[in-house]
Amino acid sequence: MKNSIKIYFLIILIVLGCCFNGIDSYAGSSATQIAGNTASSTDAAIVPSDAPSINAEAGIVMDVDTGDILYEKNAHEQLYPASITKVMTCLLAVENGNVNDELTVSDSVMSQVEDGSSAIGLQSGEKLTLKSALYGMMLNSGNECALTIAEYIGGSTEGFADMMNQRAKELGCLDSHFVNPNGLQNNDHYTSCYDMALIGKAAYQYPEFKKLISSQSYTIPETNMNEERPLWQENRLTYSGNGEYYYEYCTGGKTGYTEAALATLISFAERDGRRLVTVVMRCNPTTESYLDTIKLDDFCFNNYNLYKPLTNFDFRSVNNENLNVLSNYYDDLNHELPKYYVNRNYSFYIRSFVNESDILQTVNFYVEPQNGIAGQIIFSYNGVEIGRTDITINLPPVIASSTDAIIAQNNTPKPESKVLKWAKRIIVILIALILLLIFLIVFIKIRKKIQMYNSKRTIKYFPRSRDPRLKAKEEDNQEKIDKLKDIDKEVIKKKKKDLDTEYQEKRRRKRKKI
Does the annotation mark 289 as catalytic? no
Q: Catalytic pick from 141, 176, 267, 347?
A: 141
pLDDT at 246: 94
Per mean pLDDT, which range of 48-52, 414-418, 453-457 is the poorest?
A: 414-418
Over residues 441-474, the pLDDT tens digits come to: 988 888 888 887 777 666 555 454 555 666 677 7
Count Cβ atoms below 10 Å from residue 181 Cβ, excluding itself: 30
As a whole number of angstroms, the distance between CA 86 and CA 171 comes to: 16
Higher local confidence (pLDDT), 325 or 367: 367
**CA proximity to 173, closest of 60, 82, 295, 332:** 60
pLDDT band at 483 (very low <50, low <70, confident <90, very high): confident
Residue 342 has pLDDT above 50, yes or no: yes
pLDDT band at 160 (very low <50, low <70, confident <90, very high): very high
Per mean pLDDT, which range of 30-44, 233-247, 370-384, 403-417 is the poorest?
A: 30-44
In sequence order, the 6+-apart residues with CB closer than 8 A to the CB of 366 are 322, 326, 373, 374, 375
pLDDT at 143: 95
Q: Catalytic pick from 41, 73, 86, 254?
A: 86
For the chain, the C-alpha Rg in angstroms (whole number) is 40
| DSSP string covering 263-282 | EEEEEEEEETTEEEEEEEEE
Computed over every residue of the chain, the mean pLDDT equals 81
Residue 19 has pLDDT above 60, yes or no: no
Residue 57 has pLDDT above 80, yes or no: yes
Q: Catalytic pick from 41, 83, 118, 267?
A: 83
Higher local confidence (pLDDT), 458 or 411: 458
Over residues 166-179, the pLDDT tens digits come to: 999 999 999 999 99
Residue 345 has pLDDT above 70, yes or no: yes
pLDDT band at 325 (very low <50, low <70, confident <90, very high): very low
Taking residues 79-101, what's their average pLDDT? 96
pLDDT at 75: 96
Higher local confidence (pLDDT), 507 or 100: 100
pLDDT band at 480 (very low <50, low <70, confident <90, very high): confident
Does the annotation mark 480 as catalytic? no
SS3 (DSSP) at 415 = coil
In sequence order, the 6+-apart residues with CB closer than 8 A to the CB of 108 are 151, 156
Highest mean pLDDT: which of 211-220, 376-385, 482-491?
A: 211-220
Cα distances (Å, whole numbers) of residue 43 to 37, 56, 349, 466, 481: 11, 21, 10, 98, 106
pLDDT at 511: 76
Per mean pLDDT, which range of 2-11, 300-309, 411-420 is the poorest?
A: 2-11
Does the annotation mark 141 as catalytic? yes
Taking residues 189-203, what's their average pLDDT? 97
Over residues 123-140, the pLDDT tens digits come to: 999 999 999 999 999 999
Residue 401 has pLDDT above 70, yes or no: no
3-state helix, strand, coil in the chain (%, to 5): 45, 20, 35
